[in-house]
Chains A and B, each alone.
Chain A
Amino acid sequence: MRPPLFRLAGITKSFGATRALAGVSFEVAAGEVRALVGENGAGKSTLLSILAGAHRADAGSMELAGAPFAPNSPRDARRRGVAMIHQELAIAPDLSLAENIALGSEASRWGVLNRDAIRGRARESLARLSDEVLDVDRPAREFSLSVQQQVEIARALSSDARVLVLDEPTSSLGPADAERLFRALRALAGRGLAVVVVTHFLEELPRFADSFTVLRDGAVVAEGPISEASPERLVRAMSGRSLEMFFPRVPHTAGEELLAVEEPCGSSATDAPGISLSVRRGEILGLAGLVGAGRSEFLRRVFGLDPPGAGRVRVGGRELTRRHPRESIARGLGLLSEDRKTEGLAQGLSLEDNLTLSALEPYARWGWLSLRRRREAAGAWLARLACKPADPRARVAELSGGNQQKVAFARLLHQGAQVLLLDEPTRGVDVATKAEIYQAIGEEAARGKAVVMASSHFPELLHVCDRIAVFQRGRLRAVAPASQWSESSLLAAASGVAP
């Protein structure tokens, strides 16, 4: 066994009362590619941010080539040889490939760039990744995402990284580009780098990894050589737990069909085969999938926020014709955005402005608002959802994430939506508020509303929904009653492992 180049021992990290990591240990040898897998919320992102120096561990230690490694910033981590490639690439689109690779460590003399040295170093680093010859003088924006990713890896190489950490590197790559990346990773390992890859796509593991580590609830629950990593074992390890969370259940019964969506083949950018879904009154349909599986995009197309393509949407049997949020709202649809901060709510405005923005007509006569009536109505909605503070004049930015989500949810109810399209309704929300939101969703179903709820958190889908549809890479893989799904079967379908 080769001696480890990079070693983590007992890494522990808590945020407030939540323990994100509870004593994580693993090691990577020079020349080894280790896959790090786990469900959303298992602690992968926290672990990565500690490796990269963005956060400090509460306890535990890290060693790089036998010496203690405790970076105090991402820059420090990179300087000492640990480079991180994030899911969102850090590329300056208007700079050339060579300039991008040199970014932050430009060869210069007295502030004047040494262009030849920059080009040379760029070509050299890129050559270590693939045989393809690229014109390093052309701006990065002219190249594919895959090339831009290679540029970012090359940047790490040119700053003499010894450990390379990649977060979900294949989530936005096609199969051919993913294959190219795997070859590059193998080549790097061949040159003695230690590589850690976080991924959701279990079926890819054997193609690039030597070993695997499974995280669950902030701890390592399985690890070993890749030959022992059967998809079944990984899925069991990732999901096998009893959830102690409290899911209030409000009895509700399904009535007539309220929303029906038909999207023919190739209607979306991902060239997906047809998606056909319907939801009945008093029914909660869950949309499961991994990050980037196309659930949000589906909801946004239905609501008319993104171009709907050739898809057709019927609400109560009547087809939507204009496919614009205004029409959707008028016809009883409501969308809760997954991005609360920049889209879901106008942070600088008051609660009453945010709550009533989608339906001001009830308070208006000839366009003039009755501010008093509006304030009373907003106050009543905030009180009904137990929002704190319940002062309609408070600004959204003053509220906690959970209370902000209540405001966003209240807006849908206020506008009289009969079909609630909820995109990650409990993201960034504390546990107590989560339970309140599940309760509210159940109550609305009991009032005869149709609910579609996209979530990356399988336990909540299993407990809250009546039926669950699984998306994978833009496609609808399967739909079945929630009782027929388990966490492992959902994960398997969402990762593309199951039949």
Chain B
Amino acid sequence: MRRSLQSLFQASAPLVGLALILCLCAVYGHFYKPEASFFSAHRLALIAKQTAIVGTGALGMTAVVAAGGIDLSVGALLALTSVTLAQALAAGWSAPMALLATFAVGTLAGALNGALVTRLKLAPFIVTLGTMLFFRGLAETLADERKIAAEAPPWLAGLLDPPLAGSLQLFPAGVWLILILGFLLSLVLRRTVFGRQVFAIGSSEPTARLCGVAVLRRKVEVYALCGAFLSLAGVLEFDNLNGQGSPTSGIGAELGIIAAVVIGGGSLSGGRGSVLGSLAGALMITTLAAGCAYAEISEPVQKIVTGAIIVAAVALDRTRTGRGT
């Protein structure tokens, strides 16, 4: 009982931070902007959209970080998959085929990261720093360095559209999709052979080897899984840009995604990571950005504040749990 409470508290740390940000925004609005509440439908929809994309990336990253790795190429992957989707649709492929191609590209790109990390025995930081440029270049080539507009059926294009007024759906379909996938991933990590082996590898690779875990294969699978999640993020980004695939999407997104995972309790030395925490971390980061915009804090100051809050959140979490990152 004590332990399950503990883990709940751990995952809820970013939620506390989130509540704090929301309170600040509400107070600010009450005194300085009584005419426009922070909690407008428009702003909440914007936050939902942004969180959906960062959160999907954070889901994949959670698995990688739990296995003791890191993937810097996720921002570039986001661009590559969204451009793939746009080009496939623009070339007249049916939506299911285009989706299949998008997921194939993302998953293979992730598997490539995994293969390079395991076969060349290189640090994942270095490998994915390289593939970050590689994938970005690939996306730019594929898109001929411009935005690709494409028609998509409403079920695909409208994943991030706000639900019809008065419906019980509450969130856009994409957000539900991510919540469901997050729930599934959390189950997979906690209660499958695969998941426990991933945590074992991240916690202590020599121990995993000693216990006969197929360490190299698991790592490739984890990076491929991350690539698959980034494919979904690419699809959402395509919707976010109203049916466009842009090769400049997601520049710097890897940092926000890693920050979300770390704020959510993930440890960059491996063996720790929580799906709920990562999603909450993603929500906190996007809310923070929206809050700054609402309070008309200039962009440079916004960056300073965000950076400080990321470090403070993680430092607070570490002193509380008494462990290093």
Contacts and interface: CB of A to CB of B under 8 A. Distances in A.
Interface of A: 305, 324-326, 328-330, 335, 337, 339, 342-349, 353-354, 356-358, 360-361, 364, 367-369, 371, 393, 411
B225 to A, nearest CB: 14
B192 A346 contact: no
Contacts of B94: none
A364 B188 CA distance: 12
A368 B3 CA distance: 22
A332 B290 CA distance: 58
A345 B204 contact: yes
Interface string B189-225: 0111110110110011011111111100000000000
In the A-B complex, the 4 residue pairs with the smallest Cβ-Cβ separation, listed nearest first, are A326-B212, A358-B211, A343-B206, A346-B204
A361 B192 CA distance: 10
Contacts of A329: 211-212
A357 B207 contact: yes
Contacts of A328: 212
A115 to B, nearest CB: 31
B49 interface: no
A344 B199 contact: no
A346 B3 CA distance: 19
Given A368-B191, A369-B196, A371-B191, A346 B212 contact: no
A354 B194 CA distance: 15
B203 A335 contact: no
Interface string B296-325: 000000000000000000000000000100
Contacts of A368: 191-192
B199 A343 contact: no
27 contacts: A305-B209, A324-B212, A325-B212, A326-B213, A329-B212, A337-B206, A337-B210, A339-B206, A342-B204, A342-B206, A343-B204, A343-B210, A346-B208, A346-B271, A347-B203, A348-B271, A348-B323, A349-B200, A349-B203, A357-B213, A361-B193, A364-B192, A368-B191, A368-B192, A369-B193, A371-B191, A393-B3
For the complex, would chain A's binding face be called helix, strand, loop or mixed by DSSP majority?
Answer: mixed
Contacts of A360: 193, 196-197
B136 interface: no
A357 B194 contact: no
Given A328-B212, A342-B206, A345-B204, 20 more contacts: A305-B210, A325-B209, A326-B212, A330-B212, A339-B206, A343-B204, A343-B206, A343-B207, A346-B204, A346-B207, A347-B203, A347-B204, A348-B271, A348-B323, A349-B199, A356-B196, A357-B208, A358-B210, A369-B191, A369-B193
A346 B200 CA distance: 7
A345 B191 contact: no
B252 to A, nearest CB: 31
Nearest to A364: B193
A358 B203 CA distance: 15
For the complex, would chain B's binding face be called helix, strand, loop or mixed by DSSP majority?
Answer: helix
A330 B214 CA distance: 13
Nearest to A326: B212
Interface in B41-72: none
A205 to B, nearest CB: 37
Contacts of B194: 367
A207 to B, nearest CB: 38
Contacts of B210: 305, 325, 335, 337, 343-344, 358
A345 B204 CA distance: 8
Contacts of A369: 191-193, 196
Contacts of B190: 371
B210 to A, nearest CB: 6
Contacts of A349: 199-200, 203-204, 271
A349 B213 CA distance: 15
A358 B214 CA distance: 11
B199 A353 contact: yes
Contact of A357 (B3, B200, B214, B323): B200
Given A348-B272, A367-B192, A411 B200 contact: no
